[in-house]
Structure 1
Amino acid sequence: MTATVLTAETLIRRYAYVAQQPRATDLATLISQLDTAAPRYEAAGINGHEDLETAASYLDEALHGTDEISRDVFLGMAHELLRRLVGDMTQEYRATVGD
């Protein structure tokens, strides 16, 4: 069995919709979108918004890391937070704001 390699491109493809902005095409834009979404979700009273900030921090570490191992670790940590939260939070946000 082969392991799936988690890349920045994989995370962008999976989570770039979170801020309801044009789809991110790079990691820096995804980080910016998470930073935009977190206070919006907080204002809407959605639990877990602080985890978006944490995921953005992990992605920033991955983006600016010089070591491939630490980059992979930070990408994995961000993915775990986003995987658990983003779908439900986005649906809740859309329902709250009437989208």
Structure 2
Amino acid sequence: MTTNTATEILTRYADDVAYIAEQAPATTLSDFTNQLSTAHVHLRLARFAGADDINTAATLLDTANSTTGPEHAALLDRALKHLAGLPEMATEYRQMAGD
């Protein structure tokens, strides 16, 4: 199993989440988790089927933020699986907004 770090997750997803949440890109896992929660609301209101995955990822990352070691790594990996559809959702969200 590949272990992902919080930095890698931020690098991969912060811009998309920030766009959907209408905020500047997060630089910490805690800020990213908060933005995911906001993005979840926006995606849910826009009736995106994958919105609940974003909420699940936020919950997992929030828990990961207070853990260390193997448990932390496992939570990051689980959250990453729930974020897999985010780039596609962000692209569609941008298209809906006309950007």
Decide: shared fold, TM above 0.5: yes
Greater relative contact order structure (CA < 8 Å, 6+ sep)? 2
What SS class does the counterpart of residue 16 from structure 1 fall into? helix
Listed as ranges, the gaps of 5+ residues in structure 1 are: none
What TM-score does the superposition give when structure 2 sets the normalisation length? 0.88
Instruction: Report the residue type matching 1:25 in the other structure.
Output: T
Superposition CA RMSD, Å: 1.4
CA distance in 2, matches of 1:54, 1:5: 19
Q: Percent identity?
A: 36
Q: How far 1:79 moved relative to its partner?
A: 0.8
Tell me the amino acid that sits aligned with residue 8 of structure 1. A
Name the structure 2 match of 1:39. Answer: 41
2:92 is matched by which residue type in structure 1? E
| Structure 2: gaps of 5 or more residues | none
1:89: which partner in 2?
89
Larger Rg, first or second structure (1 or 2): 1
Distance 1:32 1:53 in 2: 10
Runs of 4+ aligned residues of structure 1 deviating over 2 Å after TM superposition are none
